[in-house]
Structure 1
């Protein structure tokens, strides 16, 4: 037994370090800062993406953005449907944004009109992937970042990163009724691709007294998307 064990031990001591040197061992998980930086770079480089927005804790009155779905393409275009709370009911607005002009098909209208998105509780959705004005700023401004669980989003392995976001920045990109308060974020980032697949943001979005949650899911990074301004009239 001893004569057999000794060669096996020597073999293990020789082979395991050799495999590690050749890349056979698993790489260490990126730090929270590295994951956030990777996700920001990937988001800033993509030419287009698809997003789905949902919310929890929305009020029953007022005018607020409570959800939506659509495609965003560079340099500043969007096409999709946004769910807006108005006059006590939720409206599905068909919205197109091209180069800073936002069009919406209002209820009972047969075509599109140029609108000020602020009157419906949202900003220009066409700039959401602009590095200077879009959601990637949240990744760069994250504070107190910590690694969370490893899980799957739509079948892809992601690493969660939790962090605090400056309320003033969140107000500029999304909304906030108390910009002095930080917003809690949970980002789900694909470690291999660096794609931000989900962002859950919890903060004073609808009232200063109670927290609500927006969940943003991103997919189809770099898909072939063509968006043109609609005919108005």
Structure 2
């Protein structure tokens, strides 16, 4: 084959492949709003989830929710442990919620009793997967959403989305000393599965005049979880 013919053949291949390369490289990036919508849909379709709660900036006095871990199951169940500051220290309270009734086994108690979860600084943990009052509404209520950095966590690519969330929405899930103040949010979403992995919330959780932070991590969406009401005294 002559050099001229070879050059002609290469040029023809380049021209044929160029539209394909251009199409691949010009694929639009998923917007922050679209990513939040996909994470919300994925969460609303999950029958169960495991969550871990951490906090920063909590006071050492009074009764304050500072952490916890447990399993949530639809339509309205929870079983786990909440960490609460009380009596000058941190105590762990076993908590079960089924169909709107919350049970807790307080330290030194021999059995569970029905409680108001507000005394621990939290809403009904059994409603965390409720699309209207749980974590999902935080995604729906996010304002001024913007894409953040992309990183890899445990081999999975997650994309951060920053936003502000009205304080009255956050108060339904956790607590607030001033629901009129917006809460800053940073959400980490797995780009492949669309699963919400973490929500970091910063706002007036412990004081109206100073910011505190709660971080909720989600995993094991759809795992087999069975929760039933415990016996009470």
Q: TM-score, normalised by structure 1?
A: 0.93
8 Å CA contact retained: 1:64, 1:122: no
Deviations 1:140-186 (A, max 9, x none): 11111100011123321111100011111111221111212111100
- Given that residues 198 and 215 in structure 2 are in contact (C-alpha distance below 8 angstroms), is that contact kept between their aligned partners in structure 1? yes
Structure 1 residue 87: Cα displacement: 2.0
How far 1:63 moved relative to its partner? Answer: 1.0
Map Cα deviations across residues 66-124 of structure 1 (whole Å, 9 max, x no partner): 11000000010000001011122111111111111111111111221111111222221
1:170 partnered with 2:170:
yes
Output the CA distance in 1 between the equivalents of 2:102 and 2:4: 79
- What are structure 2's unaligned runs of at least 5 residues? none
The equivalent residue for 2:14 is 12
- State the superposition RMSD in angstroms: 1.7
Deviation at 1:190, TM superposition (A): 1.0
Q: Shift in Å at residue 19 of structure 1?
A: 5.9
Task: Give me the whole-angstrom Cα distance separating, in 2, the residues matched to 1:170 and 1:212.
Answer: 13
Q: 5 Å matches for 1:63-74?
A: 63-74=63-74
Q: Describe how 1:20-169 pairs up with structure 2 within 5 A.
A: 27-169=27-169
Provide the rounded CA distance (Å) in 2 between the counterparts of 1:211 and 1:154. Answer: 30
Alpha-carbon contact 2:123-2:175 (below 8 Å) kept: no
User: Conserved in 2, the CA contact under 8 Å of 1:153 and 1:197?
Assistant: no
Equivalent residue of 2:168, what SS?
helix
In structure 1, distance between residues paired with 2:154 and 2:97:
28
Query: How far is 1:26 from its partner?
Result: 7.9
Quickly say closer, same or farther: Cα 1:134–1:14, change in 2 above 3 A.
same
* 1:27–1:70 CA distance, 2 compared to 1 (3 A): farther
Which residue in the other structure is 1:192 paired with? Answer: 192
SS at match of 2:184: strand
Moved more, 107-116 or 131-140: 107-116
TM-score (norm 2): 0.93
Which whole-Å CA distance do the structure 2 matches of 1:96 and 1:229 have between them? 7
Q: Secondary structure at the match of 1:204?
A: strand
Cα deviation 1:49-80 (Å, max 9, x = unaligned) = 00000001111111111110000000100000
